[in-house]
Amino acid sequence: MQVAGRICIVTGAGSGIGRAIAHALREKGAEVVVSDINEAASNQVAAEVDGLSIPCDVTDPKAISGLFEKARDWKGRVDLVCSNAGFAKGEPEGPTSASDDHWQQSFDVHVMAHLRLSRLALPEMLERGEGCLVNVASAAGLLSQIGDAAYSATKYAAVSLAQSLAIEHGSQGIHVSVVCPQYVATPLLGYDNAADGDQSGRILSPRNVADCLIEGLQNDRFLILPHPEVHDYALKRATDMERWIKGMQKLKAKVDASGSSDLKDFHKLL
């Protein structure tokens, strides 16, 4: 899929990966609707990409409906939906220590937001015979994130939802992609928007991820892995689950010994 001339919605676009995606799409000739729960950030990025700002809390179904309707009215259609909004809080006492509210919020942001946007966008895309649905999930949706079961579980669900959308609608002109990066230099990890990642390739810049997405769209790829090694990790996990679990248990012990499972600290152990 070529993005030039496409009308695109990007959620969570006020910072980090979403901001980088908005810029990358615009540079390739797309028209971009920038959406973020932070109104000031949404407005700022929209100004940077000469786009339309529509602030939105993606956990609110009515707000999502409003986002889509305003985006469609802007240029008359929506060609690409990129659900990028996400968050992580962590569970220092293990998976069951997180509250029901934490689990529900994780599901609403990482799964239901994309489902609701897809539900709104698909009818018109199917009528035109073309469209694109992108979910920025995480390598945690293929592997696991120690210290945040709600994040991992809902990212797994996001990947599964993307698979279902691709299977059900791929023959109808709908392209589906899911992006699964590992660690990226975003505010989630304590970096600012100017961060470039590191030279080892372990921590990518948001722009690295955005460029991988564009390249993946141009080559009609479903699974986009900005960290290529994730493919090998996932293969090892699928081939020998028992060995994988034992290896993750060893990593968990290393995290415990460090004294912090916070993502801002955890990624530095790898």
Q: How far apart are CA 266 and CA 8, in angstroms?
A: 34
The Cβ of residue 220 has, within 10 Å, a number of other Cβ atoms equal to: 12
The packing angle between helices 149-169 and 113-128, to 10°, is 10
What is the CB neighbour count within 10 angstroms for residue 245? 12
Catalytic-labelled residue, pool 151, 156, 183, 191: 151
Burial-class residue 24 by CB neighbours within 10 Å (0-12, 13-18, 19+). buried
Contact 10, 46 (CB under 8 A): no
**Tokens 């695109």 sit on residue:** 8
Close Cβ partners of 198 (under 8 Å, ≥ 6 residues apart): 185
Please confirm, yes or no, whether 156 is among the known catalytic residues.
no
Residues belonging to the chain? 270
Catalytic residues, by residue number, are 151
